[in-house]
A and B are shown apart, each in its own frame.
Chain A
Amino acid sequence: MRHRHFESILDECLRGVERGESLEAILGRHPQWADELRPLLAAAQRARRTPAAKPRLVAQQAGWQRFMGQAVALRRARQRPAFALWRPLAAAASLVLVLSFAGGATAYAASKSMPDDRLYAVKLATEEARLWFTFDENDRADVLLDQADTRLVEIGKQVEKGDPVGDNVLAAMRHRMDRAGVIIEKPGAPTDLVARANEVSARQEELLVSIQGWVSFKAAPEYGRTLAVVHDTRLALRNEPAAPSDPLVLANGVGQVVGRVEQTEGGSWTVGGVPVVVDRSTIVEGEAGSLVGKVATAAIVREGDQTLHALTVSLQNQGDVANGMRIAGVVDEVENDRIRVGDRIVTIDSHTIKDGHLQEGSQVEVIGENAGTSFAASIIHIVQPGEAKTAFAYEGEVEQVEPDRWLVGGLSFEVNSWTPVDAGALFLEPGAHARVEAVQEGGALTAQRITLLTTEEAKDAVAVEGVFQGVVDNHWLVGGLEVDVGTSTAQAPATDTLVRVVGTRSDGALAIQRVELLPPGGAGLVRLEGVMTRLGQDAWLVGPARVQITGETGIDGQLIAGGRALVWARPGLSDSLEALYVDVLDTQPLFVQDSGSLTY
């Protein structure tokens, strides 16, 4: 009773403070409670005087545009005829009518529509209609996962057409995953549904990371939001309590570092020597147990403070490493679900990303992995005419690493958040050498991929690889890169040949030691990049492909089991490829080969 009385007095006093009365005047009315009231009123005043946080104008403005956009849509919806009140039923009835009287032509056409089609909104609405008649919650989650999966296929087709990925398809994927997540994250969700959600969300994250180069500028914020929902759903499905992902950080792009995982004494992590933050919001895929010492691929984002934060760390077992490969060559044959590149069968499924139309004669680069008797493609890049003239590879010592720039062998390369870095078994440390695959764009050199090399070359040793385009004022033009050859007397190769120029840097010029002619591109020829496994005296696997070394094979470096290599090859007599040229990237193996098999 005393309590109730005091609470009322306190409340009356608080109102007095709010009216602007002085504390002493208020307490004077309740002298017997003054000692108890004073600190409470002071605490209330303290809270009341806390200045309000001010929102950012840009965020408020963005919110206003969404708000008004929604207001306009709602206003229009309200202006529709009375049956708008029965919208779900009416829409479903309309759908039935369309199917009955129009032979389903509109719905059918819509079902085939793509995100940039006018009927795409109808397709999404039709999907919604299906959900209205799915009453079981778990069934609804299953349908939502199906619909989210459809968005993956649509994105793949957009990329194939060469269209930028827009925000509508990304938003549609996000909404569906978000709603599915709410159901599946509840305790007691069926295990098969949880497993499926895990599988779908993992595939989505992989795809979203892969297609970031095709996302339109306008869609970048939605890209960040979608990736955040997908990643957070994956965390929630693992019951991993972690801070929500920041869509703005994700919108800037996701990079990749491949290398051996180490932990410093201070507890921080490195992947291939690159410092990476690994915390509870990082998803670790692969074998259980300690990460330390294992080779992994880390998907990383750059936080506002420039630290690299790992979204996922995928541990690579020896099979992953040995089976992964990149191949490049000319398409000899195209079928529905496969192409043939230099005698290799490359299989394609609905999740393969292609950035153009595949046809016989297309020059392609394929990233994928061994799938039994064939090679399963995850990404196929169709090389455009003239692309080779602005693309080159450069090898040299890593002199400086900054968030947006690497200095390698005296050349400055711009890097993005998503530039992949493959450290293999190596560490990014002073004296490391790297191979930078780059393009020249408007005078700037942009790195597209960086591979750390083990090399016993001299500190100032460099190499440049690309299509030789001619000599201008003592400069060789190789893949768009002007190389000052100083006083070198090496004979210039023929124009349009693929060359590898090896030498040393001296006073800003390249003192050429040798010029190697690489096999020209063309039908039947492939370039492979993968880990080498010795099968016999001259028989090797490069990734999953069998390669035969002959007396005619040019070899740069020492062939080493478990090391990475670039190999130019052509079909041989058996199912092996005949190596024409091998560029060995490592002097130490990623794994130790023991009795014909790879082990850690």
Chain B
Amino acid sequence: MVVDWLLPNGGASAGMSVQALSALVFAGSIRTTAHEHTYQSAQVQQEEELVRRAQQYDQEALSWFYQLFYPKLYNYGCLQLGDAQLAEDLASEVLLRVLESLHDYRFRGLPVAAWVFRIARNYVIDLHRRRQRRPQVPLFDGIPSADDDPHALAERSLAQKELYVAMRDLTEEQRQVVILKFIEGLDNAAVARVLGRSEGAVKSLQHRALLALRKMLSPEGTEEAT
């Protein structure tokens, strides 16, 4: 296998088949649409095919995998840990763990994201247990990003900080539901898989999380919803 040691950029090095598959998966891997059953079925098949290829260490499939999940895991890490450095570590380490277990992964009809975020959640729990750290709010003075203008960066940083602070008083499970469902777009079944709970329990957690968030998020922000 020839390995391109450069970070794949937007699929430039990826073959068309992977691009086409990944575009479909990117767009709707975790959302349900008007034609949800038909679409989901096709999407699950395509995701299964990509995972199967990744299990053979196919570079294009791995590149798809990495490109899809690194930013998601980084964002998840920022919201869980409030620290860009820790979020970078989380994204890298979780993807390595995913890679190590990839061979044993068995597709069960749920989006692969459910499995990846389950590993990420375990990583965060391990980190908290191991470090026994006091809660930290060190960041959100600006998560570094080379390709942003300062105005956009400041706006994004502010919005994230507000959500991060609002979520600090949620239970760990409630926080998971908010991030996985509303930020990462997983459906109830996938969230239930990550948490090891029933879908009914997820609905209940979702209700309580939104009740708590409603009180903590700024009124201006919540009234914007239409």
Contacts and interface: CB of A to CB of B under 8 A. Distances in A.
A242 B33 CA distance: 45
B225 A53 contact: no
A592 interface: no
B165 to A, nearest CB: 12
Interface stretch (A162-170, A243-251, A444-452): A243-251
Interface string A59-70: 111111111101
Interface stretch (A43-51, A102-110, A426-434): A43-51
Contacts of A61: 6-7
Contacts of A14: 206
Interface in A46-86: 46-68, 70-72, 74-75, 78
A40 B70 contact: no
A46 B221 contact: yes
A55 B32 contact: no
Interface in B68-119: 70-71, 74-75, 78-79, 84-88, 91-92, 95-96, 99-100, 103
B123 interface: no
Contacts of B100: 70, 74
Interface residues of B, number: 71
A467 B190 CA distance: 75
Interface stretch (A16-24, A197-205, A322-330, A371-379): A16-24
Interface in A214-261: 232, 236, 239, 241-244, 246, 248
Contact of A67 (B62, B85, B144, B156): B62
Size category of the A interface is: 35 or more
B3 A72 contact: yes
Interface stretch (B14-22, B41-49, B130-138): B130-138
Contacts of A74: 57, 99-100, 103
Contacts of B1: 72, 75
Given A40-B210, A43-B210, A48-B182, A70 B146 contact: no
A58 B131 CA distance: 27
B203 A11 contact: yes
A15 B32 contact: yes
A54 B88 CA distance: 10
Contacts of A39: 214, 222
Given A11-B188, A56-B88, A67 B95 contact: yes
B178 interface: yes
A49 B224 CA distance: 10
B31 interface: yes
**In terms of DSSP, what is the predominant structure of the interface of chain A?**
helix
B7 A60 contact: yes
Interface in B1-28: 1, 3, 5-8
Contacts of B221: 46
A63 B222 contact: no
A14 B213 CA distance: 15
Interface centre among A3, A4, A42 (most CB of B within 10 A): A42
Nearest to A65: B5
Interface string A1-31: 0011011101100110011001100000000
A68 B225 contact: no
Contacts of A4: 200
Interface in B154-198: 155-156, 159-160, 162-163, 178, 182-183, 188
Contacts of B178: 47
Contact of A56 (B8, B144, B160): B144
A55 B62 contact: no
B204 interface: yes
Contact of B147 (A7, A43, A54, A63): A54
Nearest to A23: B226
A7 B7 contact: no
A71 B203 contact: no
B66 A64 contact: yes
A54 B71 contact: yes
Contact of B146 (A3, A8, A49, A57): A57
B130 A185 contact: yes
Contacts of B38: none
A78 B56 CA distance: 10
A43 B144 CA distance: 27
Given A10-B207, A40-B214, A50 B88 contact: no
Nearest to B188: A11
Contacts of B32: 15, 18-19
A49 B226 CA distance: 12
B214 A59 contact: no
A388 interface: no
Nearest to A19: B34
A182 interface: yes
B197 to A, nearest CB: 13
Nearest to A22: B226
Given A23-B225, A70-B99, A75-B57, A57 B7 contact: yes
A14 B3 CA distance: 43
Contacts of B149: none
A66 B100 CA distance: 12
A183 to B, nearest CB: 11
A103 to B, nearest CB: 36
A239 B5 CA distance: 41
B62 to A, nearest CB: 6
Interface centre among A7, A22, A248 (most CB of B within 10 A): A7
Given A64-B66, A68-B5, A53 B147 contact: no
Interface string A169-207: 000000000000010010000000000000000000000
A277 interface: no
A22 B143 CA distance: 33
A248 B85 contact: yes
B127 to A, nearest CB: 9
A539 interface: no
B161 to A, nearest CB: 10
Nearest to B4: A68
B145 A46 contact: no
Given A11-B203, A39-B214, A46 B155 contact: no
Contacts of B160: 50-51, 53
Q: Across the A-B interface, give the 8 residue pairs with the lowest CB-CB distance, nearest first.
A: A45-B225, A63-B92, A42-B225, A55-B74, A75-B57, A42-B222, A53-B78, A47-B182
